[in-house]
Amino acid sequence: MQTTLKKRETMHLLCAKGLEVFHAKGYHNTSLDDILKELSLSKGAFYHHFRSKEDFFINIIQNLIVQKVYALLIEPLNTHDNPLPIIAESLENALEPGKGNEMAYGFMLNDFLTEFNKRNTEISRYLKDILNVWEVNLVSVLKRGKVDGHIARHVDCEGVATYIIASYLGMRSLLMGSSNRQLKYQYIQQLKQYFKIIAEQAPVI
């Protein structure tokens, strides 16, 4: 076995468990020992692979969180169908625990954003960057929808993207881990109502 493989394996173990526990209990409320105990690893092992707790979390963001957001929220947008149902579906899917989304982390971006806001500007920036990428992709798919005649011409695509993101982040706050089907259903329903305004109206004959 290559040493680099062993290294990668341990680092991945640490990152995966780290994300799980950080998301369950919050970054600042989780000690390294909490994570290490679950993996039967030592402080020494940890500091052999990571420079600090902060460095560790940045690794988690770049390897795991980014990929999750891409898989759940960005890649589904790459299609040339009507974007509105696709956006709705990706959001519904991302709120659903246990699909592409095994550990019911759901979409932890909002929790971490709030936790690090005003406390760690570097980590905040990494997290905000992810949101920005999502926003850019939403805007671009909305604009394409305009060209393709699925979305009304008067629509402010940036505004719509902002509103979608805001409502989604807020839902995460409301859901709070307790996966409440009722709330989820209400959210998706209202989102679809909102999309009616955005959609190109069938021309009156």
Q: Which range touches a second copy (CB under 8 A), out of 10-18, 61-69, 92-100, 152-160?
A: 152-160
183 sits near a second copy (criterion: CB under 8 A)? yes
The string of DSSP codes covering 16-82 is HHHHHHHHHH-STT--HHHHHHHHT--HHHHHHH-SSHHHHHHHHIIIIIHHHHIIIIIGGG-SSS-
Binding-site member from 47, 70, 126, 163 for a second copy (CB under 8 A): 163
Q: Which does 41 bind (CB under 5 to 8 A by kind): a second copy, DNA, none?
A: DNA
Instruction: Answer yes or no whether residue 59 interacts with a second copy by CB under 8 A.
Output: no
Which runs of consecutive H residues, i.e. helices, occur in 77-118? 83-95, 109-116
Confirm or reject binding of residue 86 to a second copy (CB under 8 A). Answer: no
4 sits near DNA (criterion: CB under 7 A): yes
Structural tokens at position 90: 């990706």
Question: Of these, 29, 52, 62, 67, which contacts a second copy (CB under 8 A)?
Answer: 29
What is each CA distance from 171 to 101, 185, 188, in whole angstroms? 17, 11, 10
Please report whether residue 151 would count as binding a second copy according to CB under 8 A. Answer: no
Counting contacts by CB under 8 A, is residue 156 touching a second copy? yes
Q: Which tokens sit at 7?
A: 């290294």
Chain residues binding DNA by CB under 7 A are 1-4, 6-7, 10, 30-33, 40-45, 47-49, 52-54
